[in-house]
Amino acid sequence: MMTQTDLSKYNNDWFNEGAGLVKRSLWFMVNALFFINPLNPLSGIKVQLLRLFGAEVGKGVVIKPGVNIKYPWKLVLGDYTWIGERVWIDNLEKVVIGRNCCLSQECLILIGNHNYKLSTFDLMVAPVVIEDGVWMGARSIVTGGVRCGSHSVLSVNSVASANLEPYAIYRGNPAHKVKDRHIEE
């Protein structure tokens, strides 16, 4: 008989959210009222709230309505980066997004996963780094442990589960390089 998954043995005690219960609870309410809520278009207020909760946020950052951020204290946003409508940054681990990046509508940065090889289905987390000038197309996904090289592009509905080379365009699931990116002045 093959071993089966047994979620009754799942233990996540090793995981550290990086903040106490009160701070996490306050963030949950602020996130729901000011970020996830599509009726709040005011990017400046969102930037200030992120900073208040420990995020490192550069100048000129734009955050559209409907954005969901798990833990701002594990987030770095570089200057002039745009976060589009309904982007979900599920940052159980640190996420660094460089300068002049664009995360288009409904992008997902997915840090957590589970070890399907173990009967206990253990949680696995790894940081994500999105270097300067990266463009993530609408509904694209970056998984934990991935580095998106400088000025790379992840096309619409594509999934990056491995590193992206700088100045390269990727498409598909899993994403594969389709051509180099050339930027004109």
Q: What is the pLDDT of residue 3?
A: 85
What total number of domains does the chain contain?
A: 1
Residue 130 lies in a domain: yes
Tokens of 7: 């979620």
CATH of the domain at 167: 2.160.10.10
Query: What confidence tens digit (pLDDT) does each residue in 86-120 have?
Result: 999 999 999 999 999 999 999 999 999 999 999 99
Tokens 């900073």 belong to residue: 51
- Indicate the average pLDDT of the chain: 96
Tokens of 181: 């990116």
Identify the band that residue 12 occupies on the pLDDT scale cut at 50, 70 and 90. Answer: confident
Strand partners, 148: 130, 164
Residue 9 lies in a domain: no
Instruction: Compute the distance between CA of residue 27 and CA of residue 89 in angstroms, rounded to an integer.
Output: 14
Residue 161 lies in a domain: yes
Instruction: Compute the distance between CA of residue 163 and CA of residue 88 in angstroms, rounded to an integer.
Output: 20
Q: Which residue has the higher pLDDT, 59 or 2?
A: 59
Residue 129 lies in a domain: yes
Identify the band that residue 50 occupies on the pLDDT scale cut at 50, 70 and 90. Answer: very high
Across 50-56, average pLDDT: 98
Query: What confidence tens digit (pLDDT) does each residue in 143-183 have?
Result: 999 999 999 999 999 999 999 999 999 999 999 999 999 99
Note the residue count of the chain.
185
Residue 3 lies in a domain: no
Q: Which residue has the higher pLDDT, 10 or 82?
A: 82
Residue 152 lies in a domain: yes
Q: What is the pLDDT of residue 147?
A: 98
Query: What confidence tens digit (pLDDT) does each residue in 132-141 have?
Result: 999 999 999 9
Q: What is the pLDDT of residue 129?
A: 98
> What pTM was computed for the model?
0.94
Q: What is the pLDDT of residue 40?
A: 86
Q: What is the pLDDT of residue 24?
A: 96
Residue 6 lies in a domain: no
Domain that holds residue 99: 20-180
